[in-house]
Structures are given as structure tokens and as C-alpha cells.
Amino acid sequence: MPSPHAPLPEAAAPAGRRRLTPQVRMAQILDAALAEFSERGYAATTMDDIARRSGLSKGGLYAHFASKDAIFEAMLHRALAPPEWQESPAPPVHADTRTFARWLVDRLYAGLLHRPDAVVTLRLLAAERGRVKELLDLWERNVVLPNVAMLGDLLRAHVAHHGLPDGVLVREPWLVVSLVTHVLLTQMILGREPAVGLEHMRESHVALMCELLDPRARLAQAK
Amino acid sequence: MPSPHAPLPEAAAPAGRRRLTPQVRMAQILDAALAEFSERGYAATTMDDIARRSGLSKGGLYAHFASKDAIFEAMLHRALAPPEWQESPAPPVHADTRTFARWLVDRLYAGLLHRPDAVVTLRLLAAERGRVKELLDLWERNVVLPNVAMLGDLLRAHVAHHGLPDGVLVREPWLVVSLVTHVLLTQMILGREPAVGLEHMRESHVALMCELLDPRARLAQAK
Amino acid sequence: MPSPHAPLPEAAAPAGRRRLTPQVRMAQILDAALAEFSERGYAATTMDDIARRSGLSKGGLYAHFASKDAIFEAMLHRALAPPEWQESPAPPVHADTRTFARWLVDRLYAGLLHRPDAVVTLRLLAAERGRVKELLDLWERNVVLPNVAMLGDLLRAHVAHHGLPDGVLVREPWLVVSLVTHVLLTQMILGREPAVGLEHMRESHVALMCELLDPRARLAQAK
Amino acid sequence: MPSPHAPLPEAAAPAGRRRLTPQVRMAQILDAALAEFSERGYAATTMDDIARRSGLSKGGLYAHFASKDAIFEAMLHRALAPPEWQESPAPPVHADTRTFARWLVDRLYAGLLHRPDAVVTLRLLAAERGRVKELLDLWERNVVLPNVAMLGDLLRAHVAHHGLPDGVLVREPWLVVSLVTHVLLTQMILGREPAVGLEHMRESHVALMCELLDPRARLAQAK
DNA sequence: TATGAATGAGGCTTCATTCAT
DNA sequence: AATGAATGAAGCCTCATTCAT
């Protein structure tokens, strides 16, 4: 496929123009749309931008989507689809607290911070909030709340199994999520990881969770 | 939304050509700009929107600002100016931990969550990040980092005064900020307070800080 | 005014969306541009004027030219392209002086005064001089100077062949050009031919050249 | 008077604001107008340009002229006013031909080429021809034609006095004007003197006139 | 399906002119 | 007389969308 920027020598056009299946084309378009929308926002992104990045002409987009808005919506629908949790191994609820905390933190980082699309999508959601109200509600109901609930179940199970003292963290599992949102916000706004480094932050988060879940161990250690 | 910068009731603007001092006009324009930009984003906001809301004709804006971009930048400059910390009373470093924690949390909530402009501005920063890179760096250096540093000083002072055990929170004061960013993100993206309510969240935050700062009290209480 | 570049009768443009090849469209646009620019000047000509005259919508122009300025420049480039001298018959250098002089004057008149575009273009060049400096230099180097040089060659050849006395005209061939610029200026400024009439002026020019080239014949005649 | 570009420190404003007589002010404005209009043309010149150059505010212009067009017209009226010929010394009609020719050429150069305003004004006339039709007619009747007529008188007187042979130049005095228009056109379009230099051209013009007026002298000299 | 010329609405900006001061 | 904020009408240009090919 000739790059859209090349002056395209007429003779170089291959005999058979690439004809892709609609599914592949639409995926290409949505990829391009995510990249472009997240770089410039909805209003500042033109159909030409998307067309160019997906290797199509402007008019060609309309063979697959009815409008710019339709592309945007389809793109977000795909990006906000609930991730597959099933394939993950069983959570080490019965392991020692440090192992358990590290596993939890790793899950959160993997789901939110290590996926480039996640930050990009959140940025778009914040920017175009007015355009996608109902999609946001859907996402909260289907993705956010269930995940927080599951988090609570895991925490309760771990505390019960080890006979750890009660604490806010167990009663308010969203506080765990709260921890990583700092990194998220930094990336959303400053566009880069916090200065201290992701690895350092993860260690701090694990340590914090350990202190909260097992204060006795901390006091014993502090002696 | 009553902007904190505009003491003028908008309803008082009468018809007819009214000449105001540039200072007043510019403040009006920036107020209008903040409101409009944060509703629709930079690209989707028109000069007509801003003009209408500031009670001016479209052309009239150009007597005060050279371009749409100049308005945007001036607006953010004003919004990101370091707030006045001096007027606040002395932090109760020597008070008991709960009082100290509540004071800290209150400060954070007051500075970030209870000001309507703060969320709105953060949303704009996330959306138009590419447009205001250098402003963001400035803001981080002049506002964010100093505040985090001051937070660390306060925490260390409190812990030292009361002979509390060492912990992550003291070593990594940004974790405290981390707590409220969850609310911030929720407001940025969902456009409303978390379902559990701000008051409830504040209590949880205070409790969490107490647990982290004074684990002995928690264990004693848990008996 | 039928442009020499547009073989298309303008009246044939029907309503409805008509797609033409870019070459044809661009020629139409440049024709329209020349007509409009020369009527009102660059600044006072609107894209709507050009669009209307080329049978296109305003936006349509931008499918072919990036800006008003690009149209202007392309139009002048075309207008200032060196004319085709090759097709003309061999200059009658060896004929008698009157025939030779008449041939030279005819060439100048044909090249400068009888082409409606020439005056119009010169007017534009004078008016928008600041906008097209480098184009002017190019034109002088590629068109004006070579033509003056060729003029000198012809004059020298004629004088040598007939054994005529030396004179300023042969040493300074630009004086020949000088003769017709009066008409040019009149047309540029007054917008019409001089009151005495083009035909009369041509006769005067021929006579003047004869007097200068062959003073002996004049004196013989004057007796 | 504070420069319009300076940020004007309020306190620095001198006690008495300069109040000029209307005549002086209007002359200043017309000077500024000529300079600005000739640099950019009518449409591209703004009232602000003129105001700035005449040391006035935009609104101030309207205290003296009713509109932009009124300024333009007044400026041209002043520029096209017939020059004062009376003060010049008597033409050396009875001197030898070379002296007479040089005097004539000098007059033309002084009147047209050595006055910077003349070229500038002609450029404006060519550019804004449509705007000033009737002014142009007036100028032709009152300035151009009388001067050409006077030229004819002088030539006839000189030829008669010296018994020189009849020739086109005497019958068609506009041919003399024709000579200098080449320089005029060059300056109008290329914005600079011809490459060969003004002095050289003047000598050539004088020589040409001598050849035309007195062919016998030329032939005698050529022997 | 795909292309890209074409449309038309609308956005940013300029500027002649007005007018309160 | 003079200032300069303010208006309103264009003007240049962009872009989502349509449609002939």
C-alpha cells in the first residue's frame, strides 16, 4: 500500500488493489481513530487524519461508518469493552500478605498503567465527556463497579484467612484503586510517568498495603 | 457557575455599548473562556460562545486578546497561578493524629475537590495537553512539587513529635495526594462525585491516614 | 474576455456538480483569477469572485490551490512564461530599412500591446510588486533581457548589411523598447489607447526608426 | 507625543497634548496616506496603518476625513495637482541642439524620474484605476496634454530657428515623452532604476534627440 | 468498495466605522 | 480634537459530507 505521503508514481500501483475484509478494514479504521482522536481530541481530528492513518481516502471511510461520530462511538465501544479476567490464574488469597499485596498491585498496574491505550482512552473520556455520557454510565456499571466489588471480596477473604485485624481498606476497597489513580492522573495530564519511576511507586504501593493489612508485622519489624 | 474571579453579577450587563476598563473586561472574558472551554474543549468552543458569555461581540474580543489561543493561554495562566497558602492557620502538627490527619485531608479537599475550577481546569489540561506543554511543566515545578514537599515536612514533624513508628507514608508523601486523586479522576471522567459521597470518602481518608501514621492506636482499639 | 488559455466557452457550464480533470479546472481558475485580480487588485478580489467566475464554489477552489496567494502566484507564473518566438518567420534583416523597421515594430506591438493579458499583467505586477519580488527578477532575467539582447543583434545585423552609419539605437537597443512603453503606460494608467490611435502611433514609430537607422535617406527625401 | 508602539506610562504623558492646526494635521495624514497606500495599495492599507504613521489614533483620523476613501481621494488630488512651471528659467530654444536637447531631457527627468512621489503615484493610479476614473481624466486634461503641447511648441521653435529638416519628432512630440516612460515603467514594476544607470540613459536620450533633430550634424560627425 | 472533486456551513480573524469618554 | 473599546460585516480557510466516476 503506497504511503499517503508519497507522490505515488502511477506506474507503481500494484495490479490488484488491496481489498480487505470489512472486519479488518474497520479494525484498521478504529485503530487509526483511537490514535488520532487521542492525539488531538474529537473536534480537532479530521476525517482526513483518520483516513490517512488507516490508508484510505476520506470518502472511503464512509463506506464503513456513517459519520465521524459513528467512528468515535465505535472506537470507544471497543476500547471500553470489559477485559478478559478469566484467563488469569487464581488470586493468591492464602499466600502471605506481601505476596498477596504484590499480586493485587500488579493486577492494577497491568490493567491500567501498563496498557498505553488505557491512559489514552481515559484522556478521551475526560475530554469528550459530554459526548459520551451514556457510554460512561455503561462502563461504570459493567466494568468499574464489578472490579471494585471483586477487589473487596479478595481483601475480605485474605484478612479472614490470616486473622488480620479489621481496617478501612477492607471496608472501602476503592481505596486500593485510589492508589494507582495518582499515576493515571500524572500520565493523563503530564503525559509521562511520575518522576520517581513506576517501579519505585509499585514498591511503595505494596508496602502501603502491607502496612494497612498487617499492622502487627510492621510494628514487630520496627522494633 | 459563579466564578471566583468575577465579582460582577452577569445579569447586570445591560444592552448598548458599554465601555469597561480593560482589566474588568479581560477578567470577564477569561471567566467566560474557562466556562466554555471546559464545557466543550478548545476546538469545539467558538469565539462566538466566549463573546456571547462575556457580553461582547465577537470582534470585541480582539481588542483584548490577539487570538483564541491567546485567550486559552491567559485563562490557564490565571487558573494555574499558585494559590495563597499564607492566609491559612498554622498546621496542627502537634495535635493528636486524628486531628492532624483531618486537617491534612481537609486541606487537600479544599484545594482540589471543593473548588469547581480545579476539576474543570484539570480536565482541560488533560484534553489539551499538547497545546500547553510548557505551561504544565511550569505548573508542576511551581505548584505541585512544592506542595508535595511541604506535605512531607508536615508528616515528618508530626511523626517525630509523637514518636510514631516509621512508615511509607512519611517516606513517600505523594501517597497522601494519591488518596484524593481517585475523587478527582471520578469527577473528571464521570463528571460527578463518587457514589458513596464526599463526606464518607473524607472520613475514610482520615481513617486510612490514622491507621498508617499510628498503627499502635489501631491495634489497641481493635482489641 | 476570452482568455487565450481557455478553449472552453464559459456559457457551457451547466448547473449541478460537474467533475472536471484537475488540469482543466486549474486553467479555468487561473483564467478567472487573472480577470478578477486585474479588475480589482489582489486584496480587493475575494475568493468568492474567483469561484463565481470559474463556476465553482468557494471551497472548491481549495481542492486545487492551497490559498489565495497560491492562485495569484500560479496565475502570474503562467502569465509570465516566456512566449514562443520560434514559430515566427525569419526576421527580414536584409530587407530595406522601412520593411525591417515595420517588422520590428509589429513584433513589439504584437507581443506587448495587442495582447489584452499583457497590459493587465503589467498592471498587476506594478500594483503587487511587494508580493512577487522574486518572480519579477526571474521574469526580467528570462524574458526581458534576452529579448532586448536579440533586438540588439537584429539591429546590428541590419546596419552592417546595409552599410548604414553608426548610431545610438544600435548601441542601446532598449531605446526601441522604450518607444512602445508609452503606449503601455497609457493603457496601464488610463485604461485605453492613446487618443491619436494605435495605427497612427505605429506609423510614427516606424518613421522614427527609419530616421534613426538611415539618416541619409531622410535627408535625400527632405530635399 | 508618545509613540503609538510604546506602552505609554500613564504618568509620562506631557501636560499639554500637542494640538496642531487642522492644515498641518491633514498634511501629515496625507503624507502618511501616500506612503502607506503606495506600499500596499488601497485595499491592503488599513486606517490603523495611516493613523500610526501620522502619529494619530485610528479614531482621530475621522476628525479630519470622513472615510478611508476620502483620504485616498484627497491624497491623490494633492499629488496630481499641476506642478509649478512658472518658476523655471526660459527654455534655451535658440541654443545649439545638444544644449536644447539636454535641457528638455533634464526637464523630463526632473519632473518624472527624480521625484520619488511621481513613481509612487503612478503606481497607485495604475493599481486603483477603477477607483479614480474621473480624477485621471482631469489629470490628463490639465497636466499631461498641456505639457505635451508645450513640448511641441518648443521643438517647432527650435527647428525653425536653426533651419533643421522636418521629422517625426516635431510632428509627434509625445515621442519625446515616450523616451522616458521606459525608465518609469521599470521603476514602477521592478522598483529600481534600470541596470545601465540613470546617468547613462540620460546621455543616450540626449544623443537620440540630437540624431533626430539634426541628422546632418550626425552624418558630418560620422565621416 | 474506493476515490477525490465538490459543496456549504461555519469558524477565526480583520477592519472601516462609531461612540462613550 | 482625540482616544480606543466596541460593533458588525465580510474575508480566508477548514472540514464533514456527498456523489460522479
C-alpha grid cell, residue C68 = 489565495
Top residue of C178, C180, C183, C211 to mutate, by most chain D CBs within 10 Å, is: C178
Spatial separation of the C-alpha atoms in residues B33 and B20, rounded to whole Å: 18
Nucleotides of F under 7 A from a protein CB: 1-21
Which of 133-162 (A) contact B at CB < 8 A?
Answer: 133, 136, 140
Are the beta carbons of C208 and D212 separated by less than 8 Å? yes
In the block, which residue shows the cell 503562467?
C78
Within an 8 Å CB–CB cutoff, is residue A110 touching chain B?
A: no
Spatial separation of the C-alpha atoms in residues C38 and C34, rounded to whole Å: 6
Spatial separation of the C-alpha atoms in residues B76 and B30, rounded to whole Å: 9
Chain B residues 171-210 within 7 Å (CB) of strand F: none
By the 8 A CB rule, do A154 and A93 touch? yes
Which of 189-218 (D) contact C at CB < 8 A?
Answer: 189-191, 194, 196, 204, 207-208, 211-212, 215-216, 218
CA-to-C1' distance for A59 and F20, Å? 13
Chain A residue with CA closest to B195: the answer is A145
> What integer pLDDT is reported at residue D10 of this predicted model?
36
Chain D CB contacts of C218 below 8 Å: 165, 167, 215
The nucleotide lying nearest D46 (C-alpha to C1') is E15
Least-confidence region, from B180-184, D112-116, D188-192 = D112-116
> What integer pLDDT is reported at residue C84 of this predicted model?
66
What value, to the nearest 5°, has the Cα angle with vertex D114 and ends D110 and D116? 135
> What integer pLDDT is reported at residue A100 of this predicted model?
97
Comparing CA positions, the residue from D136, D83, D79 lying closest to residue D108 is D83
Are the beta carbons of C174 and D166 separated by less than 8 Å? no
Chains D and A touch (3+ CB pairs under 8 A): no
C-alpha grid cell, residue C99 = 520593411
* Average pLDDT score over residue span D148-174: 94
Within an 8 Å CB–CB cutoff, is residue A42 touching chain B?
A: yes
Which residue intervals of chain A are DSSP H helices? 22-40, 47-53, 58-61, 68-79, 97-108, 116-127, 133-139, 145-162, 168-171, 174-190, 198-213, 215-222
Model-level pTM?
0.85
> What integer pLDDT is reported at residue C190 of this predicted model?
87
Chain D CB contacts of C141 below 8 Å: none
Chain B CB contacts of A42 below 8 Å: 41, 43-44
C-alpha grid cell, residue B131 = 497545546
Chain C CB contacts of D218 below 8 Å: 165, 167, 215
Q: Which amino acid is at C39?
A: E
What value, to the nearest 5°, has the Cα angle with vertex C20 and ends C15 and C26? 110
pLDDT at C5 over 70: no
Q: Which of residues D116 and C210 earns the better pLDDT score?
A: C210
Top residue of D105, D108, D132, D188 to mutate, by most chain C CBs within 10 Å, is: D188
Chain D residue with CA closest to C131: the answer is D40
The percentage of residues in chain C with a pLDDT greater than 70, rounded to a whole number, is 89
Q: Is the CB of D64 under 7 A from strand F?
A: yes
> What integer pLDDT is reported at residue A84 of this predicted model?
65
Within an 8 Å CB–CB cutoff, is residue A20 touching chain B?
A: no
A7-42 as b/e, with b when 16 or more CB fall inside 10 Å? Answer: eeeeeeeeeeeeeeeeeebbebbbbbbbbbbbebbb
> What integer pLDDT is reported at residue B15 of this predicted model?
43
- Per-10-residue mean pLDDT, chain A, length 223: 38 47 91 95 97 96 97 94 69 96 92 83 90 89 90 96 94 89 88 87 94 94 74
Helix (H), strand (E), coil (C) string for chain B: CCCCCCCCCHHHCCCCCCCCCHHHHHHHHHHHHHHHHHHHCCCCCCHHHHHHHCCCCHHHHCCCCCCHHHHHHHHHHHHCCCCCCCCCCCCCCCCCHHHHHHHHHHHHHHHHHCCHHHHHHHHHHHHCHHHCHHHHHHHHHHHHHHHHHHHHHHHHHHHHHHCCCCCHHHHCCHHHHHHHHHHHHHHHHHCCCCCCCHHHHHHHHHHHHHHHHCHHHHHHHHC
Nearest by CB to C174, which of D182, D190, D222?
D182
Are the beta carbons of D44 and C39 separated by less than 8 Å? no
Within an 8 Å CB–CB cutoff, is residue D42 touching chain C?
A: yes
CA distance B110 to chain A (A): 18
> What integer pLDDT is reported at residue A85 of this predicted model?
56
Render pLDDT for C16-70 as a digit per residue (tens, 0 to 9): 556 788 889 999 999 999 999 999 999 999 999 999 999 999 999 999 999 999 9
- Per-10-residue mean pLDDT, chain B, length 223: 40 54 92 95 97 96 97 94 70 95 92 83 90 89 90 96 94 89 88 87 94 94 74
pLDDT at C87 over 80: no
Spatial separation of the C-alpha atoms in residues A23 and B207, rounded to whole Å: 51
By the 8 A CB rule, do A218 and B167 touch? yes
By the 8 A CB rule, do A136 and A128 touch? no
Are the beta carbons of A211 and B168 separated by less than 8 Å? yes
* Average pLDDT score over residue span D197-204: 92
Average pLDDT, chain C: 87
Least-confidence region, from A2-16, A54-68, D70-84, D96-110 = A2-16
Of the CA atoms within 13 Å of residue D218, those in its CB half-sphere come to 27
Nucleotides of E under 7 A from a protein CB: 1-21
CA-to-C1' distance for B29 and F5, Å? 14
CA-to-C1' distance for A23 and F12, Å? 41
In sequence order, the 6+-apart residues with CB closer than 8 A to the CB of A209 are A97, A101, A104, A105, A169, A176, A179
| CA B79 to centroid of chain Cα atoms | 9
Spatial separation of the C-alpha atoms in residues D68 and C44, rounded to whole Å: 14
Chain B CB contacts of A128 below 8 Å: 41
Are the beta carbons of C168 and D211 separated by less than 8 Å? yes
CA-to-C1' distance for C46 and F10, Å? 10
By the 8 A CB rule, do C179 and C186 touch? no
pLDDT at D222 over 60: yes
CA-to-C1' distance for D15 and E12, Å? 41
C-alpha grid cell, residue C66 = 492551497
CA distance C94 to chain D (A): 22
Chains A and B touch (3+ CB pairs under 8 A): yes
Residue closest to sugar C1' of F7 by CA: B57
pLDDT band at D15 (very low <50, low <70, confident <90, very high): very low
C-alpha grid cell, residue D109 = 527627468
Are the beta carbons of C189 and D122 separated by less than 8 Å? yes
> What integer pLDDT is reported at residue C16 of this predicted model?
52
CA distance A209 to chain B (A): 10
In sequence order, the 6+-apart residues with CB closer than 8 A to the CB of D38 are D120, D121, D123, D124
CA-to-C1' distance for B191 and F17, Å? 32
Q: What is the DSSP letter of A79?
A: H
Comparing CA positions, the residue from A96, A79, A85, A86 lying closest to residue A38 is A79
Chain C residue with CA closest to D126: the answer is C189
Are the beta carbons of B126 and A188 separated by less than 8 Å? yes
> What integer pLDDT is reported at residue D2 of this predicted model?
37
CA-to-C1' distance for B55 and F4, Å? 19
* Average pLDDT score over residue span D112-117: 80
Nearest by CB to A215, which of B42, B185, B215?
B215
Are the beta carbons of D211 and C215 separated by less than 8 Å? yes
* Average pLDDT score over residue span C157-183: 92
Chain A residue with CA closest to B202: the answer is A175
